């Protein structure tokens, strides 16, 4: 396996979707892997996905002005950006603890490991009901010992819960679903309808005047919306008032956004969302394939309602294969695809970053901006498709850090170690410390024009 450089990794992303309007002469990378305790090329992957967004934003700026921008990206900054939530905290307080409750690796009676993901209350309660135990790690560990790993995975998945058995890379690659994923590119941008070309709205930023609806949850999808906002888009985070959420991740991914509640369980909520779609440009969603289509909000539905829409889909396991309808999260996909087995030793262990989440979020934003550029030049409605498992296959294919670097022994940087990358914002949550935008643009420095706010703060109405 030949290790990829940041520039060749970026070129691979651009080639995947036929993006060739700006050459590599306008991109500069600094630094090198390893940055964090892992042999995976985390800085390379993170920096390349973020730089792709920078190039797409620069392309939109050139469409507006005729002027090109230079893009700068640091490998260390790219790696740290893949664990952004770890450095988001109220000033004077502690950062989020990450995985919650009983979410962890557990060893089954056959000696194999599983990971349970129980961060949402309904996933925790459903898992405990099947295991028949109390909500403590000790009780869960004892209950899991009574199961074979594959049987427990199958049983929990069938019940709509979130679990994967730890697999080696070889085991995963031999699976039917891995073959289905290998048949897909890293990401896809598909024209799904015709419409007249639409010039970008007036404004002094790459995405000024562009309206984006963010119907995603947790981390990857909301990172897409945050990225669009840092280049000037009006992004509205739409959440259901009845849905669980992680407050720390709202603070991490909410910068620059409006935030409104819309309840799609009733007709009024559906009508409200449709009105927003008709006056919008980008629609991002992070549900399993076909879930929103069943409610009339699939890509073809919205292309008919709003010709010229850019529809961005995120899912865990991709659009094809036997696992396409499974619920999943970054850590579960790491565990299923052999990443945790490789990262660990005597037991599986996660990467020191949520790279599948964050990199997928940046790829979504890159896809959305690329599709906007096509709409401006050619017209049309577009469907951008990204999944965590496709990002996992991509990461694994980039190569590994030189063994001589002994990357696994590197220290794990805390907030003081990355102080040069942090900024502070005054928000309704209080004063927050968090990572600043990672990419550098020579003419339109990325920034957030709005502070992060609690979900449901605003009315579901586009600003004038």
Query: What pLDDT, in 10s, does the model give residues 166-181?
Result: 999 999 999 999 999 9
The model carries a pTM of 0.96
Domains identified in the chain, total number: 1
| Reported confidence tier of residue 244, pLDDT bands at 50, 70, 90 | confident
Three-class DSSP category at 359: helix
Residue 344 falls inside a structural domain:
no
Residues with Cβ within 8 Å of residue 194, at least 6 apart in sequence: 307, 379, 380, 381
**CA-CA distance, 217 to 233, in Å (whole number)?**
19
Residue 341 falls inside a structural domain:
no
User: Are 207 and 61 spatial neighbours (Cβ–Cβ below 8 Å)?
Assistant: no
Residue 74 falls inside a structural domain:
yes
pLDDT higher than 90, residue 1: no
How many residues comprise the chain?
Answer: 464
Query: What pLDDT, in 10s, does the model give residues 72-131?
Result: 999 999 999 999 999 999 998 776 655 668 999 999 999 999 999 998 889 999 999 999
Query: What pLDDT, in 10s, does the model give residues 388-437?
Result: 999 999 999 999 998 767 799 999 999 999 999 999 999 999 999 999 99
Residue 79 falls inside a structural domain:
yes
Q: What are the beta bridge partners of residue 430?
A: 427
pLDDT higher than 80, residue 442: yes
**CA-CA distance, 127 to 140, in Å (whole number)?**
9
Domain of residue 215 covers: 6-97+179-322+350-441
Determine if the peptide bond prior to 272 is cis (ω within 30°). no
Bridging pattern class, strands 234-239 and 257-261: parallel
pLDDT number for residue 98 = 57
pLDDT higher than 60, residue 9: yes
Which CATH number do you get for residue 184?
3.40.50.10540
pLDDT higher than 80, residue 25: no
User: Are 296 and 186 spatial neighbours (Cβ–Cβ below 8 Å)?
Assistant: no
Residue 27 falls inside a structural domain:
yes
| Reported confidence tier of residue 24, pLDDT bands at 50, 70, 90 | low
pLDDT number for residue 345 = 83
Residue 306 falls inside a structural domain:
yes
């Amino acid at each position: 396996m030949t290790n990829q450089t940041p520039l060749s990794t970026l070129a691979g992303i651009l080639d995947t979707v036929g993006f060739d309007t700006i050459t590599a002469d306008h991109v500069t990378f600094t630094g090198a892997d390893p940055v964090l305790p892992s042999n995976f090329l985390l800085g390379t992957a993170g920096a390349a996905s973020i730089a792709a967004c920078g190039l797409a934003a620069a392309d939109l700026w050139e469409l507006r002005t005729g002027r090109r921008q230079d893009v700068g990206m640091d490998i260390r900054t790219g790696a740290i950006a893949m664990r952004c939530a770890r450095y988001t905290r109220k000033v004077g307080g502690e950062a989020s603890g990450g995985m919650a409750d009983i979410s962890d690796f557990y060893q089954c009676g056959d000696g194999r490991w599983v990971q349970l993901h129980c961060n949402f209350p309904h996933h925790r309660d459903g898992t405990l009901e099947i295991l028949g135990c109390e909500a403590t790690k000790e009780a869960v560990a004892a209950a899991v010992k009574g199961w074979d790993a594959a049987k427990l995975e199958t049983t929990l998945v069938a019940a709509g819960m979130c679990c994967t058995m730890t697999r080696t890379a070889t085991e995963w690659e031999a699976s039917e679903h891995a073959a289905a994923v290998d048949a897909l590119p890293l990401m896809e941008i598909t024209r799904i309808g015709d419409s007249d070309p639409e010039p970008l709205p007036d404004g002094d930023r790459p995405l000024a005047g562009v309206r984006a609806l963010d119907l995603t949850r947790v981390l990857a999808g909301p990172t897409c919306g945050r990225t669009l906002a840092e280049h000037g888009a009006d992004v509205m985070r739409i959440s259901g008032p009845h849905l669980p959420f992680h407050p720390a991740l709202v603070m991490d991914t909410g910068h620059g956004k409006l935030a409104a509640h819309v309840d799609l369980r009733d007709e009024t909520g559906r009508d409200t969302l449709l009105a927003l779609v008709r006056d919008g440009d980008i629609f991002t969603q992070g549900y399993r394939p076909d879930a929103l289509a069943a409610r009339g909000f699939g890509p073809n539905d919205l292309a008919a309602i709003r010709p010229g829409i850019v529809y961005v889909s995120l899912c865990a396991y991709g659009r094809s294969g036997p696992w396409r309808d499974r619920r999943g999260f970054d850590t579960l996909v790491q565990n299923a695809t052999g990443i945790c087995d490789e990262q660990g030793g005597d037991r599986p262990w996660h990467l020191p970053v949520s790279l599948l989440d964050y990199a997928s979020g940046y790829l979504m934003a890159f896809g959305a901006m690329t599709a906007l550029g096509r709409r401006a030049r050619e017209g049309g409605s577009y469907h951008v498709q990204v999944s965590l498992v496709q990002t996992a296959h991509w990461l694994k294919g980039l190569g590994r850090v030189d063994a001589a670097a002994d990357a696994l022994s590197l220290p794990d940087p805390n907030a003081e170690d990355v102080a040069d990358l942090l900024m502070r914002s005054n928000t309704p949550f209080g004063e927050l410390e968090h990572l600043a935008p990672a990419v550098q643009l020579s003419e339109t420095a990325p920034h957030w024009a709005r502070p992060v706010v609690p979900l449901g703060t605003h009315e579901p109405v586009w600003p004038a």
